[in-house]
Structures are given as C-alpha cells and as structure tokens.
Amino acid sequence: MRPFRRLLPIAALALLFAALAPSATGRSAGPRAHAAASYLTGIGDEQTEMFSNPLWQQLHTKIVRYIAPYDAAVRPDSLAKARAWIYAAKAQHQQVLVAFYHSEHTAMRMPSVAAYQHDVQKFVKLFPGVRQYQSWDEANRGNVRGYFSSPSAVAAAEYYQALKRVCLGCTVIGLDILDQYDVSSTLSYIYEFKREIGRLGTVMPSIWGLHNYSDVNRLESWRTREIVQVLGGQVWLTETGGIVQFDGSFPNRHGSGLTRAAKVLKYMFAVAGSIPQIKRLYIYDWKGGVTSTRFDAGLMNARYRPRDGYVVVCRELRAAHCANIKPAKN
C-alpha cells in the first residue's frame, strides 16, 4: 500500500488479503461516542502534489505522515523524494511524522541494528525540523518471499531503541502495528515486543501506532479496542481509511467501492471519537485509482477529483464549501 510497494504483484499481498477477509465474529461492532473525544486528523501520502491542491488546503489539517525507506539518506533517489515531500509539507506549516520502512533497493534484506542506526541517524541530521518518527512501518506485516521482509518483534524493539538513541528529544512512536482478521497474531507480536523492550532496559513507549483497516472496513471496532487495551498509553491511528478497491476481493456487503469507502470513513471517525486513548488519526491516502496492486483508498481519484470519501472528511473537519462539491464517480 505504498509507492515502493506498488510494483508488487497481487500474489505478494496475500497476507493483507487475509487481514481483510470477511468477519465471522459475533462480537459487537458499534462504537459508543464519549463527550471528551479529542484527536487530530491528518493525511498520510507520498506525493508532493497533495500540498498544492486547494481541496487539501481547505481541510486546514496540521499533521501529515510520510513513509521513507530506512536507508533513504544514503540512496540519492529515495532521498530526493523524501526531501521534496518534507520541504513541501513544511512550506504548508505541517507537523511531519516519518515512518521508516524497508529499502527500495534491498527490500528482502533486513538491516543489522548497526546499519539501521547508521542510516536513520543520517536522515535525522538531514531533517532537523522533523521530530516525530516511527522505527518501522507495519512491523508485523510479515515476509513475502521474493518481494519484501518485515522485522521480528525482537528486531522491531531493537530498531526502536536504535532510533531513540540517535534522535534525542524526538517523539519516537512505539510499534506501528497492522491489525489482522485474526487479531491474536497482532496481540502476540505486541507482547513479544514489550518483553524485548523490558529485556533491553528501554523505557516502554507511551505512544503507539495502529493501522486498523481490517476492523473499520468491516464496520467493526472490537479489534481496535482489544489492541488499544493491550498497547496501553496513547494511540495514534497512523494509517486508516476506507478501501475503495483491493483487487476486487474486499467484501461488498456494505456497498460498492466508493459508497463503502465513504461509509467506512464516517465510521472510522466514530471509532476514533469513542476511544479516549486515540489522539491522532492519519487517513491513507490522498490520491487513488493508479496503483498496480489495485489497492485504492484515495480520497481523490487518479485525476485529483474528489470522491464521496473526501466529502465525508471535508464535512467532519467542518471545512468550507463541502456542500458545493460534486464527487467523482470513479
């Protein structure tokens, strides 16, 4: 679900397909709003065009998220993209959260802790205005042979500790975790990460990252609640949103792609507002309709025309001119 994952064939995304399979659970799905709900909303994306788009500007969001290869600072192509995006974000007075991820050049090879620390330290020094980081995007996503690797929970804890060492005074988010259809594997990963943090003698993170696609795209919230409870502390939904299309395999019981995605986005806000620990929400992503992997959760279509989901976000954020927007039909 990233630009440097978009060249992957559909078979390579089997793990995430499983995460988005129809629910067979009988657990209660409905969020219950509470009066003290308070969280910031932003957008996660990797395309600089978003920042010059009047439809993005009228949302008046203050936070954005970017996914960078962990070795971006030593890879000229990756660095050029990161620099252009971060500078564009800063020009719009955005607070940037950077999540590190696998290399675009050696996606199958996990770095040693020393190599990881060396490369992310260079990145941190290049961008002194960025003070919020995640050590590895969707750490529990798993390995897909021939395409990319993901860290074990032990390695994820070591990367977290390494990033803390080189970014003193930064806000380093704890695990960036992907929910799953069977949430038990996600919970096991969290427990193992926490055990390793304790063994390393590192202070336990007070802020955690969660991607709850699997839950909200079924119009359910019980997975999110279980994960939030196990994480403890403050939780940022560092990726979430309504899936328009995922190779045609996502269940359509809640309507067709655009209709379903809009419904999911509305539900997503209700879930965030009903869980006091959730303090931030980053919708992924801005532009859709173009990925070779057929994952599409864009608020815009391929021609940067607003979709139904954008209208939901616009109204939720009480932006101007929402009533005058005519959504695209693709």
Return the pLDDT at 25.
45
- CA angle 107/111/113 to nearest 5° reads 155
CA dist 69 and 12 (Å) reads 19
- CA angle 232/62/125 to nearest 5° reads 80
Return the pLDDT at 275.
97
Partnered with residue 66 across adjacent β-strands are 98
Residue-by-residue pLDDT tens, the chain, 330 positions:
444 444 344 344 444 444 444 444 446 446 765 444 589 999 999 999 999 999 999 999 999 999 999 999 999 999 999 999 999 999 999 999 999 999 999 998 999 999 999 999 999 999 999 999 999 999 999 887 888 899 999 999 999 999 999 999 999 999 999 999 899 999 999 999 999 999 999 899 999 999 999 999 999 999 999 999 999 999 999 999 999 987 655 555 555 689 999 999 999 999 999 999 999 999 999 999 765 557 899 999 999 999 999 999 999 999 989 989 999 998
Q: Kindly state the tokens that stand for 11.
A: 């078979």
- CA angle 156/175/232 to nearest 5° reads 135
Q: How far is CA 288 from CA 199, 319, 324, in A?
A: 42, 21, 22
Fold of the 3-17+34-316 domain: TIM Barrel (3.20.20)
Side-chain half-sphere exposure of 168, counting CA atoms within 13 A: 1
CA dist 151 and 210 (Å) reads 16
**For 123-271, where are the E strands, in sequence order?**
132-134, 171-173, 176-178, 207-211, 234-240, 245-246
CA dist 147 and 14 (Å) reads 12
